[in-house]
Amino acid sequence: MHPIQAALNHAVAEARPLMDGGPAQYIPELANVDLDATSVAVRTIDGQLFEAGDAATHAFTLQSSAKLVVLAGLLEERGADAVFRVVGKEPSGSSFASLARLETHGPGPANPLVNAGAIALCGQLVGSLSERLGWIQGWAERLYGESIPIDDKVLASERSTGDRNRSIAYFLKHNGVIRGDVNDTLEVYFSLCSLNARVRQASQLTAVLASGGHAPGAGYRVLRDETVSAVVSLMATCGMYDESGAHLAATGLPAKSGVSGVIVAVAPGRAGIAVSSPRVNAKGGSVRGHSILGHISRSLGWHFGLPVR
């Protein structure tokens, strides 16, 4: 058996007995899932795909892991100077949906991977609502390697319970960070979070990052070097919110979490990884996902502090 496949099989077996945490309750549709679903995929930079657990059948919304789509797309189209005039580059030290940071450190969000940062970047897209949604879906297809649908039930649930994100958006408008119709900006943001995929698609994006911006196994360039370095660096420092430091020290894998239970991670020069299981901890990270990533890092020696082998 290939060492990566063996590592994934063992990681899933080790994680399945973990029953801590639960589904995100503030988006009701996210609670209507199989709590035991657990899946992982690794896509190497030469294009090999390895999967374990429920990967063949387990679909989920990408939630905040899809913030990488709008960040990477805008970095490609407008460059770092334009993007980082809107959002910062520092860890917030607060929860992903914090309003307090905008009040004390504003006017702009601390970084593009908290809710305020992603909403601010969605507010920079131009054109009609349908054109902005088309931009999101176009960049999602480019980065995930195929068309990614929106889960209409989750989108409706996001709309109906998204008052905290509405508060963030109106605060950003008050601060002059976003202009135009707040509801349109939120529709783009909610749609971004409601993109629906499996771990094989989610691992494509991180494999592009691990490959230095090239499509894994195909060789053509998807992202510029400058975009890759900015995105991976922000994943390392900010992608797991206020558990980013603990995660990076434990695994050495820059990562981005989502409250559906997905975590996408980069093993630079090696592979892209995606894990998903809906039991999340108080900081929005998948309990089983953390366990699986830790096992992969240890068993394959993929901590970024170790040499590529």
Active site residue 64: yes
Report pLDDT for 195: 98
Nearest-CA neighbor of 200 among 74, 48, 68, 79? 48
Candidates 241, 277, 286, 297; catalytic one: 241
Average pLDDT over residues 54-62: 98
Q: Is the pLDDT of residue 107 over 90?
A: no
Encode pLDDT of 126-175 as tens digits.
999 999 999 999 999 999 999 999 999 999 999 999 899 999 999 999 99
Looking at 12, 40, 42, 64, which residue is catalytic? 64
* Whole-angstrom distance, CA of residue 144 vs CA of residue 197: 9
What DSSP string describes 121-139? HHTT--S-HHHHHHHHHHH
Based on the residue annotation, tell me whether 220 is a catalytic residue of this protein: no
Active site residue 283: no
Task: Write down the catalytic residue from 12, 188, 222, 259.
Answer: 259
How many angstroms separate the CA atoms of 208 and 263, rounded?
16
Instruction: Encode pLDDT of 14-50 as tens digits.
Output: 999 999 999 998 899 999 999 999 999 999 999 999 9
Q: Which token pair is 245?
A: 């430091």
Of 67, 87, 157, 275, the active-site residue reads 67
Q: Check whether 97 has a pLDDT greater than 70.
A: no
Q: What is the pLDDT of residue 297?
A: 97
The pTM of the full predicted model, rounded to 2 decimals, is 0.95
> Using one digit for the tens of pLDDT, what is the confidence trace for 177-209?
998 899 999 999 999 999 999 999 999 999 999
Which has more pLDDT, 307 or 267? 267
Following CA atoms 8, 238, 247, 40 in sequence, which dihedral angle do they give, to the nearest 10 degrees? -10
pLDDT given for residue 307 in this prediction: 72
Which candidate in 114, 154, 189, 291 is catalytic?
Answer: 189
Under DSSP, the state recorded for 301 is T
